[in-house]
């Protein structure tokens, strides 16, 4: 499996379709909420297996802060370390581009993935796109 930045528009398109399957299809998120207009300005991290995008997340930068979002893994491949590998690549990419910290909104059901990677909860849970989330962040050394 290759975990890296998307190599071009075709892989970004595959990543967007994966997100649509996961967030809209599985979780019922409104497609207009999932596609918030920030993708053209984002860096897209992908995990590619046998030529197919099987996991993704995106990074949006604001000064020295990277906002990680839209982490999605194909349903049948979850709990195999692929999400953690995508997080590690996102950390490396953010650090390489000058970010000193990375922030995200974690679905409560997935917050252990982020906690295990060194993210710390900030504030109280809240609802975003109809799903319970918590803000989390991590300093990048």
Residue 141 is predicted with a pLDDT of 74
CA distance 120 to 40: 28
Cβ atoms within 10 Å, residue 100? 13
CA distance 30 to 24: 6
Residue 19 is predicted with a pLDDT of 97
Q: Which helix (H) or strand (E) holds 3?
A: strand 2-5
Residue 134 is predicted with a pLDDT of 98
Q: Where are the domains of the chain?
A: 2-100
Global pTM reads 0.94
Provide DSSP, 39-60: GGGSEEEEEEETTEEEEEEEEE
Whole-number average pLDDT of the chain? 96
pLDDT in tens, 40-57: 999 999 999 999 999 999
Nearest to 82 by CA among 105, 103, 111, 113: 113
pLDDT in tens, 96-109: 999 999 999 999 99
**Stretch 56-83: mean pLDDT:** 96
Asked if 90 and 57 touch (Cβ cutoff 8 Å), the reply is yes
CATH code for the structural domain at 2-100: 3.40.630.30
User: What 3-state DSSP class applies to 123?
Assistant: strand
């Amino acid at each position: 499996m290759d975990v890296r930045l998307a190599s071009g528009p075709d892989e970004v398109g595959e990543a967007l379709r994966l997100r649509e399957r996961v967030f809209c299809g599985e979780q019922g998120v409104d497609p207009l909420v999932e596609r918030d207009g920030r993708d053209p300005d984002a860096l897209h991290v992908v995990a590619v297996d046998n030529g197919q995008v099987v996991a993704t997340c995106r990074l949006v930068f604001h000064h020295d802060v990277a906002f990680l979002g839209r982490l999605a893994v194909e349903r049948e491949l979850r709990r195999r370390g692929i999400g953690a590998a995508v997080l590690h690549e996102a950390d490396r990419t953010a650090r390489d581009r000058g970010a000193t910290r990375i922030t995200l909104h974690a679905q409560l059901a997935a917050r252990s993935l982020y906690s295990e990677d060194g993210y710390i909860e900030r504030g109280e849970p809240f609802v975003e796109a109809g799903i319970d989330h918590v803000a989390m962040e991590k300093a990048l050394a």
